[in-house]
Structure 1
Amino acid sequence: MVTLITGGIKSGKTDFASKLALKYTNRAYLATAEPIDEEMVKRINKHKAERGNLFHTLEEPIDIHKALKNSSVFEVILIDCMTTWLANLFHYKKDIEEYTTYLLQTISSLNFDIIIITNEVGFGVIPLDSMTRKYVDTLGILNQKIAALADKCFLLVAGIPIKIK
């Protein structure tokens, strides 16, 4: 089963997703963030502290399709998050269409459950620069493709989950 969790920044996505994953005995947390600056180091450390030893942690900023293929020992994997993963692809100048295709094919072939966190970035103003507009558009399309594969989708607003699928 694929569950997609979307919402704005600090809307409660990770907390909600973690509670869903805790219903499983053998679970992993696939982190996509890299400690690129002091603020991100603090965020990563905060997330690690919140998880404690409740999850087996996998860290993969780019090749999450490979990490998923090599993780069939788990009942569920929580991916946090598509927003950061896509930013990593942009940063490292990867072929986004190719990596997206790999990810979607992998998600479709998994024999364990997956919970995917993403951000809903289309609720704000249109970005001023072309690079940010391209990123927002690409994330919106990626979210649509994952939602189409998902069995369940939730939108988090102010910590409140709203089931949309």
Structure 2
Amino acid sequence: MEKSILITGAARSGKSALAERLALRPLGRAVYVATAEAWDDEMRDRIAAHQARRGAEWDNRHAPRDLVDMLIETDGDAPRLVDCLTLWLTNLMLGDADWRSEGERLAAALMHQKAPVIFVTNEVGAGIVPENRLAREFRDAAGWLNQTVAQACDTVILCVAGYPVRVKPNDFDF
């Protein structure tokens, strides 16, 4: 298994299910690092649906803001699945944290991890330009974060309608 994988795609594209299969493949067990905060009933339902898919083979952790520290704490032999970077970014932005510094810190931390790490993230900039400032700032920040983490990862996969498309490594020389 590659040491670090970024899986990106649209909402409901199959990213999380793919990431879960990949994380369990080497040992039959993995660490699930959830970044979501349950702010309302709809989000609680989404979290419950994700949890219902997972069984005893998962060591579930919660890191809504301190993701780098959680990766350091859980580094061992089992793969870690981080779901998802865009929710982590949301938490950082709403908490007035220096999200850019945290993103750089995350990318740098990947070089020192022993166990594999799989990140799930969303492609949010493929549609129209958002009408409000916060949404535009989030779209731009997510694009920057995805590029920063993708550059640090060994493999990048785009998930489309449940099917993975390998983006990195590629055969192109630009």
Per the shorter chain, which TM-score range? over 0.9
- Separation (CA, whole Å) in 1 of partners of 2:79 and 2:57: 13
Number of residue pairs aligned between Structure 1 and Structure 2: 165
- Percent identical pairs in the alignment equals 36
Within 5 Å, give how 1:117-128 maps onto structure 2: 117-128=120-131
CA RMSD of aligned residues (A): 1.0
Match of 2:57 in 1: 54
Structure 1 stretches of 4+ moved >3 Å: none
The unaligned stretches of length 5 or more in structure 2 are 169-174
Q: What is the letter of the counterpart of residue 26 of structure 2?
A: Y
- Separation (CA, whole Å) in 1 of partners of 2:40 and 2:24: 30
The unaligned stretches of length 5 or more in structure 1 are none
For residue 138 of structure 1, the aligned residue among 118, 128, 141 is 141
Cα displacement (A) at 1:52: 2.0
For residue 28 of structure 1, the aligned residue among 18, 24, 31 is 31
**Does structure 1 conserve the Cα–Cα contact (< 8 Å) formed by 2:6 and 2:119?**
yes
- Separation (CA, whole Å) in 2 of partners of 1:71 and 1:38: 29
Match of 1:64 in 2: 67
Superposition TM-score, scaled by structure 1 size? 0.96
- Separation (CA, whole Å) in 2 of partners of 1:98 and 1:147: 16
* Alpha-carbon displacement from aligned partner over 1:4-54 (angstroms, at most 9, x marks no partner): 100000000001111111112241010000111111111111111111222
**Does structure 2 conserve the Cα–Cα contact (< 8 Å) formed by 1:28 and 1:74?**
no
- Separation (CA, whole Å) in 2 of partners of 1:152 and 1:98: 23
